[in-house]
Structure 1
Amino acid sequence: MARKPNYQFERHERERQQAEKKAKRLKAKAESAELRKAEQASTEPDGHTESSD
């Protein structure tokens, strides 16, 4: 016999999974942005780029 559907629970589970995925992506994006900023700060200590012309 098939189980009785629990639509509210299923919807909450889907929303929870989506929120978890979104939080994970935002965290990864923030970490990569932080790494980029740190890399730029280390390559350009005075804020000027030097060209090799």
Structure 2
Amino acid sequence: MRALLWVIGIIAAILILLGLFLEAVRWLIIIGVIAVIVVIILAFVRGRRTMQRPRR
């Protein structure tokens, strides 16, 4: 009986940690996508700014 409780406790802990890990991965993906979008927007704005500068 005690071994069964240990096994159930270990499985529960693994499932909790797996859920936290998957949640963290999801947030990291969301943050990464936002960062890529910001980089693309900044590159576009800087590219347009350099194109509008008068040539010497």
Please give the TM-score of this superposition, normalised by the length of structure 2: 0.71
Sequence identity percentage: 7
Aligned position for 1:25: 27
- Alpha-carbon distance in 1 for matches of 2:16, 2:34: 27
Listed as ranges, the matches of 1:1-53 within 5 Å are: 5=5, 6-45=8-47
Stretches of structure 1 lacking an aligned partner (at least 5 in a row): none
- Structure with the higher fraction of residues in helix conformation: 2
- Alpha-carbon distance in 2 for matches of 1:47, 1:33: 21
Stretches of structure 2 lacking an aligned partner (at least 5 in a row): none
Q: Which has the higher contact order (CA 8 A, sep 6+)?
A: 1
The RMSD of aligned alpha carbons is: 2.2
Q: Give every structure 1 segment of 4 or more consecutive aligned residues whose post-TM-superposition deviation is greater than 4 Å.
A: none
Please give the TM-score of this superposition, normalised by the length of structure 1: 0.75
